[in-house]
Amino acid sequence: MSRTPLISGNWKMNLNHFEAIQTVQKLHYLIPKGAMDDVEVSIHPPFTDIRSVQTLIESEELDFALGAQHCHFEDSGAFTGEVSPAFLAKLNTKYVICGHSERREVFGESDEMVNAKVLAILKHGMTPIMCCGETLAEREADETESKVVGQIVAGLAGVSNEQIASLVIAYEPIWAIGTGKTATSEDAQTVCAAIRSKVAEIAGDDAANTVRIQYGGSVKGGNSPELMSQPDIDGALVGGASLDPDEFARIIQFNG
Paired residues of 62 in beta bridges = none
- Does residue 172 touch ligand PEP according to CB under 6 A? yes
The one segment of 83-91, 116-124, 151-159, 171-179 that binds ligand PEP by CB under 6 A: 171-179
Q: Which helix (H) or strand (E) holds 42?
A: strand 40-44
Q: Are 53 and 66 in contact (CB under 8 A)?
A: yes
Q: How many residues lie near ligand PEP (CB under 6 A)?
A: 14
Coarse DSSP helix, strand, coil percentages of the chain, rounded to the nearest 5 percent: 45, 15, 40
Residue 220: phi, psi to the nearest 5?
-135, 175
CB of 76 to ligand PEP, least distance (A): 28
- Does residue 49 touch ligand PEP according to CB under 6 A? no
174 to 193: interface string for ligand PEP, x by CB under 6 A: ---xx---------------
Q: Three-state SS for 238?
A: strand
- Does residue 219 touch ligand PEP according to CB under 6 A? yes
The one segment of 28-36, 144-152, 153-161, 236-244 that binds ligand PEP by CB under 6 A: 236-244
Residue 161: phi, psi to the nearest 5?
-60, -40
CB of 29 to ligand PEP, least distance (A): 22
Q: Which of 159, 162, 164, 154 is nearest to 132 (CA)?
A: 154
Residues 111-170 that bind ligand PEP (CB under 6 A): none
Interface pick for ligand PEP out of 155, 173, 235, 240 (rule CB under 6 A): 240
Q: At what angle do helices 47-59 and 17-30 cross, to 10 degrees?
A: 40
Minimum CB distance to ligand PEP smaller for 103 or for 203: 103
Residues 199-218 that bind ligand PEP (CB under 6 A): 216-218
203 conformational bin, left if phi > 0, alpha if psi -120 to 50, beta if neither: alpha
- Does residue 238 touch ligand PEP according to CB under 6 A? yes
Q: Residue of minimal CB distance from ligand PEP?
A: 239
As annotated, the active-site residues are 100, 172
Strand 127-132 and strand 65-68: the pairing is unpaired
Minimum CB distance to ligand PEP smaller for 85 or for 239: 239
Paired residues of 8 in beta bridges = 42, 237
- Does residue 99 touch ligand PEP according to CB under 6 A? no
Q: Three-state SS for 237?
A: strand
Note the residues at the interface with ligand PEP (CB under 6 A).
10, 12, 172, 177-178, 216-219, 237-241
